[in-house]
Amino acid sequence: MIPIIDFDNAPVAQGVFYGGDAGAKEAIIYNDAVWMIKYPKTTRDLVNPQISYTTSPLSEYLGSKIYEILGFPVHEVKLGTRKNKVVVACKDFINRSAEYVPKLIHFHDLKNSFMSNDVDEYSGTGSETFLDEVLATIQGQNTLKSVDGVKERFWDMFVIDAFIGNNDRNNGNWGLVTSWGSNPITPKLAPVYDNGNAFFNKRSIKQMEKRLSDENAMRQDAYQAPTCVYKYVDLDSGGHKINPFEFIQDGENDDCTWAVRRFLKIVDMEKIAELINSIPKSTGNLSVMPSIQKEFYLELLRIRLNKLKEAVSDA
């Protein structure tokens, strides 16, 4: 079993703050480095919630560790407790050295600086996630064009996020690392970060147990119902979200198909099962990952993996 670290005595990192709406975040000092503590988000805004808090810290940990198993650069994560809640600590990958001013540039800001002539009625906003706009930005924005592997990273994340059920790879959840000052660094892809919306983090244990006994419900959860953040242009100006498995199955984008093939070559379900089974059921008086939750997650991944194999079997 992995250790669950008690972060209660870790001091707050002064002057370091984090954005986002996926729950409270706090900067601490741990092992002489800055780490971001992500707390579970309350479910008070949900209709008839069956749980008090999401399991987003566990989702962040598992999603990030699966990226690591697959060989991708990803922010370092540790499971722990703080203020009587299960939390995840994410090591701040921005080097806060005095030699230069570090900067994480979100894809949102890069897209916000770009106006495509190749997309009809281009929105011109950084937050919009129409797929044609996102791909046009990757292809045409000058800074992105100067960095190797951006297109491949996008499609690799598209496929892996479908596998782990992360439906919130929005334009603020990936990007580049660079710096300002007298000794700047060349822009490069940031490690993969922000995976907390994976693995149905608002689903209760009772719901998981019920759905495990229903094959149709499991297929619905695995690949029929999930959508990603990216959208097709539609008659409705808001567009509609893409089901990643339907998109992959259609095989209309060669870059996406190649990303599926890359994924299938590197995925190791034995290591992923070892990871999930290494999470303790509880720590102190706090539940961490009950057996039913482990079974539910592993079955979802098994179904999705088979679906991805089917999608490229004839491609």
Condensed to tens digits (0 to 9), the pLDDT of residues 76-90 reads 999 999 999 999 999
33/74 Cα distance (integer angstroms) = 17
The residues pairing with 27 across neighbouring beta strands, listed in sequence order, are 36
- Read off the pLDDT band of 46 (50, 70, 90): very low
- Read off the pLDDT band of 289 (50, 70, 90): very high
Asked if residue 1 belongs to a domain, the reply is no
Asked if residue 10 belongs to a domain, the reply is no
**CATH code where residue 95 lies:** 1.10.1070.20
Asked if residue 7 belongs to a domain, the reply is no
Amino acid in position 94: I
Closest Cα partner for 43 from 54, 27, 32, 31? Answer: 54
pLDDT at residue 18 tops 90: no
Asked if residue 261 belongs to a domain, the reply is yes
Asked if residue 124 belongs to a domain, the reply is yes
Domain count, the chain: 1
pLDDT at residue 200 tops 50: yes
pTM of the model: 0.93
Q: In terms of pLDDT, which residue wins out, 21 or 231?
A: 231
- Read off the pLDDT band of 45 (50, 70, 90): very low
Asked if residue 9 belongs to a domain, the reply is no
The gap from C-alpha 289 to its chain's centroid, in whole angstroms, comes to 19
**Residue 68: predicted pLDDT:** 98
Asked if residue 51 belongs to a domain, the reply is yes
- Read off the pLDDT band of 20 (50, 70, 90): confident
Measured from the Cβ of residue 279, the count of other Cβ atoms closer than 10 Å reads 20
CA angle 221, 225, 229 (to 5 degrees): 115
The separation between the first and the last C-alpha atoms of the chain, rounded to the nearest angstrom, is 40
The boundaries of the domain holding residue 155 are: 16-312
pLDDT at residue 150 tops 60: yes
Asked if residue 5 belongs to a domain, the reply is no
